[in-house]
Each structure stands twice: as structure tokens, then as C-alpha cells.
Amino acid sequence: MGPLDGIVVADFSRVLAGPYCTMLLADLGADVIKVESPHGDDTRQWLPPTDADGVGTYYLSVNRNKRSIALDLADPADAEVARELAKRADVLVHNLRPGGMARFGLGYDDVQALNPGVVYCSISGFGPDATLPGYDLLVQGVSGMMSLTGAPDGPPYRAGVAVIDVMTGLHAATGVLAALHHRDATGQGQHIETNLLSAALSSLVNQTSAYVAGGVVPHRMGNEHLSLYPYEPMATGDGELIIAVGNDRQFRRLAAAVGAPELADDPRFATMAVRNRNRGELRPLLLARLAAKPAQEWFRVLADADIPCGPINDVRQGVDLATELGLDPVVDAGGVPTVRNPLTLSATPPRYDLAPPALDEHGSEIRAWLLES
């Protein structure tokens, strides 16, 4: 029994931010009913890659533990089914454009009138007053994130995954859990709103803080860090190794490990602040030492010296590393391999009961349940 057992979530979201939020809730025991148009969630058609059965892996990544019903909200009968579901739900999550749910009698005021205790979560691209579609790539661009990603003398790049969608989904899930706790204490539901742009600015953490608190507009630095050095992949005798020095004690250990302990006492490099200012002088000294051994050998040497470091893996190697560390990253969800929820709960662990559903797979049983209710 998960911690959210008994909680019914009406999931009117699609693509990534909303479905990721609702999958996290489903992993924790909520009964998530995925409401799709007759054409299905957009990601059902985002191919390739596919699994062995030809199902898009993008869709599979964020839809386990859910039941699916297909409803055409423009059809009065289906819209009535949707309103009955909203009436019964503890939580409703959607990411239609602002005003989109209200067109079908499913806006917050409409649902709250039917279901006063509902926790209603609206996810948008740019807030409730903007109708610009919210795609992760757009928000990475307009938020400033892309301006920070890439080589200093090259073009801006997006991150290799839709990180803003994922962060927004996490914020939405946090808001839902907070609102459920408030409802348990007071009996009152509420309207949660979050958007991709706000989530992006929050997720840029030290970079947005550099501007709003320090008046500094950050810029692309490739793999370097604005405030830490060395903190980047560094060339060795064969391949690159990530070295991440977060304090002066670690730098002292690094200097000793590469055979140059005097660097830690050099006034140009003794503290993080001066290392940042003098990184152009320190880098060639470190690279000259690192050239003596290949990356894998340095990995063993530096790790034994308790210096944060690691190779640049591909995704397969990342999964393999998690497996070697006993993290069991791959789990079976109703016969479909999926990536484990990162939470571990000692009493109420996440569940992996249901495979990502086929379109309208549970439509008949959900309609029967609503009629019985």
C-alpha cells in the first residue's frame, strides 16, 4: 500500500511535465486515470525509438502505473464523463493552455463547485495570462538557460533532455502533496499553478541568483563553473576525466595526488577565490601532470584519494554504473522495463504494478466505476 493509496488523480495532462508529475504520484500509490483525446497523448507518436513491441519509449518513460480512458471533450457525452471524473477525483492535473479546461466546464471554478475539496493543479508554459505554447526548447531559450550551455565561442545549445519539463513536473508534484496535506488538516482543496518559465528561472539557481542578487549576467563557459575550479572534464594521457573540486581541502588532496603538492600552498591557488581568478595559470600545470596517465588510471588514483571525479559515460554506461553500485536502476512495470523511481521509502516503497496503458485500455472499467459511483 503506497502512501497515496486511495487518492484518485484525474490526469488531463500530456507530453512530459504533467505526465511526469502524475507518474510520480502513481508510483506512490495514487490511482491515476489518464484522460486522452481519441488521438492519444502526443508522445505515443514520437518515434523512434521504440521498444520491442513498437511502442514509443518517450511515452513509456512517464506513463507507468496509470489507467487510460479516451474522451473527446468536444462531445457533450464525453465531456459529462470527464466532469463526473473530476467530481470524484482528489486531484486534477492538466496542462492545457490557459482557458482550455474552462471551455469544457472543467476549469477550477467549475470543478471546485462540484468538488470543494479538489486539489486542482494547472501547468502552463508562461503563466495563466499567456497563451504561448509551452515547449521545453522554447523555455530553455527564453529563460536564459541556453545562453549558459555550450562553448564560450560557439552557439548556445539546449540540454540533452527536457530538463525544464522534468523540473516543472517535480514542482507540480510537490505542490500537490503540500495541498493534500493542507486538505487533510483543514478539509479545504485549492488551486495550484506552476509554469515552465518560473520553474526554469528557479532551476537555474546560482545563475539566476548571480543576476538578481549580484547584478552579474552569466555567460557560456563550456564545461567550466563560474564559482569553482577545477570543476570540469580535464584531458589526461588518454581520454578526459571529470574532476570536481568543491573546496580547498579537496584541492590540497588533488595537488598531492597528481604529484604537485606545492600547488596547494601557492598564493595564486591556495583558495577557491584565487583559483578562479588564476585558472588560466593553474590549468596547464594540472594538465601537464594529468598527461602522465590515462583517464581510467587517474580515476582509480583520485578516487582512492577521496577526490570527486569520474569518466564521461554514455547512457548505457550510466545505467551499468548504477547497477554496479546496487541501485537497481531498471525495474519491471507490468512487463515493461522502466527506470526506477529515485525515492526509497522504508515503509511504503514505490510500486510498479501497471505498464504504461494502451489508448483507452481501461475506458470501459472507468466508465462502469463512474456509473456505479
* Active site residue ranges: 165
Q: Is the CB of residue 234 less than 8 Å from the CB of residue 308?
A: no
- How many whole angstroms from its chain centre is CA 117? 28
- How many whole angstroms from its chain centre is CA 257? 36
Cα 318 to Cα 338: distance, rounded to the nearest angstrom:
15
Within 8 A by CB and 6+ apart from 27, the residues are 2, 64, 65, 341, 343, 350, 351, 352
Within 8 A by CB and 6+ apart from 98, the residues are 122, 124, 127, 128, 129, 130, 131
What separation in angstroms does the CA of 51 have from each of 58, 81, 185, 338? 10, 33, 44, 11
What separation in angstroms does the CA of 260 have from each of 205, 230, 285, 286, 304? 34, 15, 9, 9, 17
Cα 368 to Cα 4: distance, rounded to the nearest angstrom:
23
| 214-129-46 Cα angle (round to 5) | 90
